[in-house]
Structure 1
Amino acid sequence: MSSTAAFYLLSTLGGYLVTSFLLLKYPTLLHQRKKQRFLSKHISHRGGAGENLENTMEAFQHPGEFELSFCSASHQRLIKRLRDYFSCYQTRSAVTIGTDMLELDCHITKDEQVVVSHDENLKRSTGVNVNISDLKYCELPSYLGKLDVPFQRACQCEGKDNRIPLLKEVFDAFPNTPINIDIKVNNNVLIKKVSELVKQYKREHLTVWGNASYEIVEKCYKENSDIPILFSLQRVLLILGLFFTGLLPFVPIREQFFEIPMPSIILKLKEPHTMSRSQKFLIWLSDILLMRKALFDHLTARGIQVYVWVLNEEQEYKRAFDLGATGVMTDYPTKLKDFLHNFSA
């Protein structure tokens, strides 16, 4: 290669790197900042699956119930009596305890009712080995009285409300609360029915929907482009590839919510001796690649909210916000509320 060709090559590469760095830092020089219809810092995963039975009206209405699992039996009885007494005078809702957004999951029944449930098969949550899509809404079994907390090892939560609710009940109860809807199955009728409910309740400005599946997200956008969408897994991987090659600042982005896991939390969910070195290395590597402050800052500068899930410990909350996440999803709304109060103090 001649010296002239090398000079032009290096000049072009240098210009690209400088431009990429500048636009990464100041993306609005090229892209119009997205208008944010709402901001969510505190997000209750399945309504707060560590404090009430997941995806129930009790969870959505009362995320933040006082944690009793570590109290003595006598203290538990006293706290319950006090709580029952004061509940006559004060209703604790998601908004009043500090939740900015409710996250929930949807399926559709045989009679085309949109229900709030994480699992299509109800064996784990109800003890009955049956699919939601095979039953009418009136035939759905009740939740078990005690369920495992999904992102907290060896923890269970119990509650009195064990009924699988309808999505429209949640919309009725929380007309002004943003709701994050995970479309759990690739079902055209489910997507259409959810869209119709969002339109009926005029909630396009308070709803975000999607799934890890690229196909589901595409169908959601095609069905109702007025409802903001989440990044699918395929799109998250694409964003990472664009980020590390310096191309991200040049690419337009349609989605408005970058919702990702913190890979390191997997280590606390499993017994260390059950994981191989290669598994631990892959978790470490994916955490290093995904948890990037420069990436989070770039996306938020473009008006894209960054949500990290599902975090249940103070050190996890702190790490996410220190990295520039705009919101954290948790099973413990009260714990996150207390952290945010102290963190901002």
Structure 2
Amino acid sequence: MCAAVYVLSTVTGYVLTSALLLKCPTLLHRKKRETFLSKHISHRGGAGENLENTMAAFKHAVDVGTDMLELDCHLTKDEQVVVSHDANLQRACGINADISNMTYAELPSYLCKLGVTFQRECVCEGGQDKRIPLLRDVFEAFPNTPVNIDIKVNNDTLIKKVSELVVKYDRERLTVWGNASNKIVKKCYKENPHIPVLFSFPRVLQLLGLFYTGLLPFVPLKEQFLEIPMPSIITKSVNTEYEMFSAGCCAACLLMRKVLFQHLTARGIQVYVWVLNDEEDFQRAFDLGATGVMTDFPTRLKDFMDRNGISKPQ
């Protein structure tokens, strides 16, 4: 009898403590320092309004008033860090060649029209700018705009050179980097722990387990940004054949909890929901307490935020 009472009181104490720390995490954890906050994030610069990952796209998004540019990086044969989503140039340039096997001077231009990955039956028709840019071009053109970098391949040289560019342009306070791969995120953190990192997919699954077992309030987290897909986009994307994408959407179903978003933001961890392209999803994400929304249509998101009184972060 005494043992049962002891177990019950212990479990009750744990549950109450967990609930308290879930609401007030700074009782146990120091809030992470936030050097910027982003509500409006332009995916690949706004792939629905300009050719993805081009300087024209980035300039348009910044002119619209985006808080952050999201982009992807690869390394050329002559070790130049370029901004491109795909390792192979077939989809974007119509040439079956890998970026890693070509020098920067050899890289072709983008095609005139590109499909929008997260908007079915949508094609973006570009203007004059079809060049694959260098990461340093982006840093030089937008020195005060936060940039979200997806390190697309597990390449030590790529990680090192991105870090060197971030340091050279004094952007450690304006950059977040990472990948779905935990190996890549670990290497990023080891290379430069001063640049905030994203949750990798395995770490998202760990976060899920910690949240539903009540352990999350007790566990320190090195990551400062959580980026998760809105589950509804699985029906709107042309990417549903990818196992990682489908698995990510399934996991995200369980992570779409306002109390979780509130707990993470109270700890200084920003929560971004991607890639949302219609008002219904914009509204749902902000209603859940997401810090920011990532979109292919920066003008559409800006108009929505203005009409609904969602102010830019100070």
Q: Same fold (TM over 0.5)?
A: yes
Partner residue of 1:319 out of 281, 284, 287: 284
- Report the counterpart of residue 25 of structure 1 in structure 2: 23
Q: Deviation of residue 283 (structure 1)?
A: 8.8
Q: Distance in 1 between matches of 2:253 and 2:130?
A: 39
> What is the match of residue 133 of structure 1?
100
Contact 2:116-2:122 at 8 Å conserved across structures: yes
Q: Say if 1:264 and 1:287, in contact at 8 Å, map to a contact too.
A: no
Number of the residue aligned with 2:162: 194
- Tell me what 1:219 maps to: 187
Structure number, greater radius of gyration: 1
Check whether the contact 1:210–1:229 (CA below 8 A) recurs between aligned residues.
yes
Secondary structure of the corresponding residue to residue 266 of structure 1: helix
Cα separation, partners in 2 of 1:114 and 1:241, compared to 1, 3 Å:
same
Are 1:307 and 2:272 counterparts? yes
Give the distance between the partners of 1:178 and 1:283, measured in 2 at CA. Answer: 25
- How far off its partner does 1:285 sit? 5.6
Q: Counterparts in 2 of 1:77-92, with a 5 A limit?
A: none
Q: Is the 8 A contact 2:229 2:248 kept in 1?
A: no
Partner Cα separation in structure 2 for residue 17 and residue 343 of structure 1:
38
Work out the CA distance in 2 between the residues paired with 1:32 and 1:51: 40
Query: Are residue 34 (structure 1) and residue 32 (structure 2) matched?
Result: yes
CA offset digits 1:199-250 (Å, max 9, x no partner)? 1101100010000000000000110111111110011110110000000000
2:144 corresponds, among 176, 187, 190, to: 176
Cα distance between partner residues in 2 of 1:136 and 1:288? 42
* Of 242, 253, 263, the match for 2:210: 242
Aligned sequence identity (%): 70
Query: What does 1:111-122 align with in structure 2 at a 5 Å threshold?
Result: 111-122=78-89
The Cα shift of 1:342 comes to 1.1
Range that drifts further, 164-173 or 3-12: 3-12
For the Cα contact (< 8 Å) 2:93–2:109, is it kept in 1?
yes
2:258 is the alignment partner of 1:293:
yes
1:52 aligns with 2:50: yes
Distance in 1 separating the partners of 2:131 and 2:56: 9
Partner of 2:110: 143
Whole-angstrom CA distance in 1 between matches of 2:155 and 2:47: 26
Which portions of structure 1, spanning 4 or more consecutive aligned residues, are displaced by more than 6 angstroms? 281-284
Q: For the Cα contact (< 8 Å) 2:114–2:125, is it kept in 1?
A: yes
Between the aligned partners of 1:38 and 1:337, the Cα distance in structure 2 is 18
Whether the 8 Å CA contact 2:228–2:252 is kept in 1: the answer is: no
Secondary structure at the counterpart of residue 62 of structure 1: helix
CA shift digits 1:132-182 (9 cap, x unpaired): 000000000110000001100000001121110000000010000000000
Preserved CA contact (<8 Å) 2:230 2:249: no
Tell me, yes or no, if the aligned pair for 2:50 and 2:124 is still in contact at 8 Å: yes
Q: Within 1, Cα distance between the matches of 2:133 and 2:10?
A: 59
* CA displacement 1:241-261 (0-9 Å, x = unmatched): 000000000001111001111
Structure 1 vs Structure 2 CA RMSD:
1.8
Cα distance 1:195–1:247, how it changes in 2: closer, same or farther (>3 A)? same
Amino acid at match of 2:217: P
Q: 1:54 to 1:285 in 2, by over 3 A?
A: closer
8 Å Cα contact 1:106-1:114 kept in structure 2 = yes
Q: Flag the 1:133–1:284 CA change in 2: closer, same or farther, 3 A.
A: closer
**Contact 1:99–1:333 (8 Å) recurs in 2:** yes
1:258 aligns with: 226
Provide the TM-score with structure 2 as the length reference.
0.94
The structural deviation recorded for 1:288 is 3.3
Gap regions ≥5 residues in structure 2: none
d(CA) in 1 for partners of 2:81, 2:249: 38
Residue 282 of structure 1 deviates from its aligned partner by 8.1
Question: Deviation digits for residues 297-339 of structure 1, max 9, x if unmatched?
Answer: 0000001000000000001000001001000000000000001
Contact 2:182/2:201 (8 A) holds in 1: yes
Give the conservation status (yes or no) of the 8 Å contact 1:50–1:149: yes
TM-score under structure 1 length normalisation: 0.86
Distance 1:106-1:282 versus aligned 2 partners, 3 A rule: closer
1:210 is the counterpart of 2:164: no
